């Protein structure tokens, strides 16, 4: 049981708020609860807010190293948004920054043993991706009106190719929320399963006696390597999500390619 | 989290790829329902579905995602990011101000150096002019003095030469007489007295030869 690599993704209620609707049987209606996943979302939000506010409390002209980390995060995301979506994209800087920090800290919490990784939940990543796409489409139409649809008709394309290119563009646009959410979900899920499987081998082999302990060295080394890899993946996935968000926002701001 | 498990759990533990095993188990279920019971925790959602695809957890997750992300967004937008932005802006302004001040001071220094060098060049040319003037003046004075001294010396030389010539002439005048007297005395010693007249004639005769 301890070695079950799927168990780490199980959601359980910390306290339940009961069920809305349904016929009273198990699984019917909408049950709302504060779950382990919710706990770590709340912890993530709390950590980010507390960290950023406490480290900048001094408002030092010359930053200490804590304040410097907050400023670096700010500058990092600000440069990302500015280079991908232009100065006008800075309107969405708080959104991209929140997304980046939420995913980044969520992933990092996931690396701590016994902590829950809410970014390994497809519904969470899909909801975040849909939030991005909703903002893109809404802002695109509000700012550009029907001209936003130019996004699907690349300029400079000969007329007879348009009927072929436009459906491709539409499909690629529609697949964005899916690729955005599945990429993050898949990376976190696969990474944590791999980690658990390899470290599970260590425990199983070590319980087999002397030969097993020798044999357990290899998966142990793999476990260490994969842990390092997972830290990198956690960071890179948060970065990728934020960069793609900036690029999609750029489409909303400047729809004609 | 360790809790009673069903038979398939052992399968999972032994399987190399647990995901694959799940798929097999799902397919193998006779009643079409999944039986992968993953820990019958008190409050766990035990529907047996692969946890991320367990739709019964979605409403709670969405609810708390919306709440936590909304709080995060609000705090970032209203508190944290403006604060960091202000800090960075103040620092940028301060640095720019300091740079401008440094530039201003540098220009001031350059001006001071330029005026100092101009004054130095002027002083140098003044000194040169003064030295030149003094030199010409001295030279003129010296020349005049020398001319005066030379003139007076020439006069003195001329006077001396004159007196020497007079003395010489006078001395030459006496030479004949002395010689005659000497000759008379010599002759007197040798042959006896001779008249002065003949001695003088003899000397004159000798000195002519």
Which letter does DSSP use for residue B44 in this model? B
pLDDT tens readout for residues B103-134:
999 999 999 999 999 999 999 999 999 999 99
Q: Residue B106 falls within a domain, yes or no?
A: no
Q: Residue B141 falls within a domain, yes or no?
A: no
Residues B184, B177: Cα–Cα separation, whole Å? 10
pLDDT for position B209: 67
Substitution target from B24, B43, B79 for chain A, most A beta carbons within 10 A:
B43
- Name the token pair of A103: 């995913």
Averaged pLDDT, A206-234: 89
Residues A23, B180: Cα–Cα separation, whole Å? 189
Angle A122-144/A217-253 helices, nearest 10 degrees? 20
Range with lowest mean pLDDT among A27-36, A131-140, B84-93: A27-36
Distance of CA A203 to the CA centre of its chain: 31
Nearest chain B alpha carbon to A15: B43
* Nearest neighbour of B72 by CB, restricted to A3, A45, A123: A45
Substitution target from A30, A58, A98, A245 for chain B, most B beta carbons within 10 A:
A98
At CA A252, angle to CA A156 and CA A83, rounded to 5? 90
pLDDT tens readout for residues A8-34:
888 888 888 877 766 656 666 777 888
For chain A, give the percent of residues with pLDDT over 70.
95
CA quadruple A24, A25, A26, A30: dihedral sign:
negative
Q: What are the structural domain ranges in chain A? A: 79-253
Binary contact (A197, B56; C-beta < 8 A): no
* Nearest neighbour of B59 by CB, restricted to A31, A42, A56: A31
Provide, as residue numbers in chain A, all residues whose Cβ is less than 8 Å from the Cβ of B2: 1-2
Max Cα distance, chain B (Å) = 199
pLDDT for position B40: 39
A208 close to B (CB below 8 A): no
Nearest to A16 by CA among B43, B27, B26, B169: B43
Averaged pLDDT, A226-230: 95
Residues 32-71 of A with CB under 8 A from B: 32-35, 37-38, 41-42, 44-45, 48-49, 52-53, 56, 59-61, 63, 67, 70-71
Range with lowest mean pLDDT among A60-69, A186-195, A221-230, B119-128: A60-69
Place of tokens 């529609």: A174
Place of tokens 């800090």: B87
Provide, as residue numbers in chain B, all residues whose Cβ is less than 8 Å from the Cβ of A16: 43
From start to end of A118-246, where are the E strands? Answer: none
Which letter does DSSP use for residue B51 in this model? G
Q: Residue B191 falls within a domain, yes or no?
A: yes
Model ipTM value: 0.90
When pLDDT is cut at 50, 70 and 90, the band that residue B10 belongs to is very low
- On average, the pLDDT of chain A sits at 89
First vs last Cα of chain B: how many Å apart? 166
- Name the token pair of A81: 């948004």
A14 close to B (CB below 8 A): yes
Distance of CA A243 to the CA centre of its chain: 12
Nearest to A257 by CA among A123, A128, A154, A147: A154
Q: How many CB atoms lie within 10 A of CB A22?
A: 12
A1 close to B (CB below 8 A): yes
Nearest to A101 by CA among A1, A242, A199: A242
Binary contact (B64, A52; C-beta < 8 A): no
A182 close to B (CB below 8 A): no
pLDDT tens readout for residues B36-84:
444 334 455 555 678 888 888 888 899 999 999 999 999 999 999 999 9
- On average, the pLDDT of chain B sits at 79
Which spans in chain B are helix H? Answer: 7-14, 18-28, 58-75, 81-190, 196-208
> Could you give the dihedral angle defined by the CA atoms of residues B46, B51, B56 and B59, in that order, rounded to the nearest 10 degrees?
140
When pLDDT is cut at 50, 70 and 90, the band that residue B165 belongs to is very high
- Name the token pair of A78: 């600000």
Contact residues for A199 (Cβ-Cβ < 8 A; gap 6+) = A219, A220, A223
Binary contact (B13, A98; C-beta < 8 A): no
Q: How far away is chain B from the Cα of A5, in angstroms, using its nearest Cα?
A: 7
- Name the token pair of A104: 């980044």
HSE (side-chain half, CA atoms, 13 Å) at A105? 21
The structural domain count of chain B equals 2
Residues 103-162 of A with CB under 8 A from B: 118, 120-124, 127-128, 131
> B140 burial class (0-12, 13-18, 19+ CB within 10 angstroms)?
exposed
The residue among B193 and B35 whose pLDDT is bigger is B193
* Nearest neighbour of A124 by CB, restricted to B3, B61, B76: B61
- Name the token pair of A242: 């934020």
A97 close to B (CB below 8 A): yes
Contact residues for A79 (Cβ-Cβ < 8 A; gap 6+) = none
From start to end of chain A, where are the E strands? Answer: 13-20, 30-35
Which letter does DSSP use for residue A15 in this model? E
Q: Identify the domain containing residue B4 by its residue range.
A: 1-53
């Amino acid at each position: 049981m301890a070695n079950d690599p799927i168990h780490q993704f199980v959601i359980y209620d910390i306290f339940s708020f009961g069920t809305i609707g349904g016929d009273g049987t198990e699984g019917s209606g909408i049950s709302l609860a504060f779950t382990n996943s919710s706990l770590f979302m709340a912890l993530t939000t709390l950590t980010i807010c507390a960290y950023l506010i406490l480290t900048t409390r001094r408002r030092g002209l010359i930053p200490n190293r804590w304040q410097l980390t907050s400023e670096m995060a700010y500058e990092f995301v600000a440069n990302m948004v500015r280079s991908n979506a232009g100065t006008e994209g800075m309107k969405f800087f708080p959104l991209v920054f929140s997304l980046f920090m939420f995913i980044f800290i969520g992933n990092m919490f996931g690396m701590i043993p016994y902590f829950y990784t809410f970014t390994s939940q497809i519904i969470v990543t899909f909801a975040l991706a849909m939030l991005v796409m909703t903002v893109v489409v809404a802002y695109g139409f509000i700012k550009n009106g029907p001209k936003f649809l130019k996004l699907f008709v690349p300029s400079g394309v000969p007329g007879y190719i348009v009927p072929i290119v436009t459906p491709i563009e539409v499909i690629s646009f529609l697949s964005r929320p899916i690729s955005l959410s599945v990429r993050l979900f898949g990376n976190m899920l696969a990474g944590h399963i791999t980690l658990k499987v390899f470290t599970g081998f260590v425990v199983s082999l070590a319980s087999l006696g002397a030969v097993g302990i020798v044999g357990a060295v290899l998966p142990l080394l793999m476990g260490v390597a994969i842990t390092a890899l997972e830290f990198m993946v956690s960071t890179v996935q948060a970065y990728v999500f934020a960069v793609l968000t900036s690029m999609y926002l750029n489409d909303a701001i400047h729809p004609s390619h | 989290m360790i809790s009673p498990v069903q038979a398939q759990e052992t399968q999972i533990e032994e399987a190399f790829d647990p995901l694959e095993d799940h798929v097999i188990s799902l397919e193998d279920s006779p009643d079409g329902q999944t039986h992968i019971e993953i820990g019958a925790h008190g409050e766990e959602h035990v529907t047996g579905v692969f946890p991320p695809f367990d739709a019964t957890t979605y409403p709670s997750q969405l609810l708390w995602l919306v709440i936590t992300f909304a709080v995060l967004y609000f705090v970032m937008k209203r508190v944290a990011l403006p604060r960091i932005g202000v800090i960075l802006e103040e620092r940028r302004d301060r640095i720019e101000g300091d740079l401008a001040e440094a530039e201003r001071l540098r220009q001031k220094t350059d001006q001071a150096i330029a005026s100092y060098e101009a004054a130095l060049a002027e002083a140098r040319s003044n000194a040169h002019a003064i030295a030149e003037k003094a030199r010409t003046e001295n030279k003129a004075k010296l020349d005049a003095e020398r001319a005066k001294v030379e003139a007076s010396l020439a006069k003195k030389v001329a006077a001396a030469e004159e007196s020497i010539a007079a003395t010489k002439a006078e001395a030459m005048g006496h030479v004949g007489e002395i010689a005659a007297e000497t000759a008379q005395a010599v002759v007197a010693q040798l042959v006896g007295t001779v008249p002065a007249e003949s001695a003088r004639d003899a000397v004159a005769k000798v000195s002519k030869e």
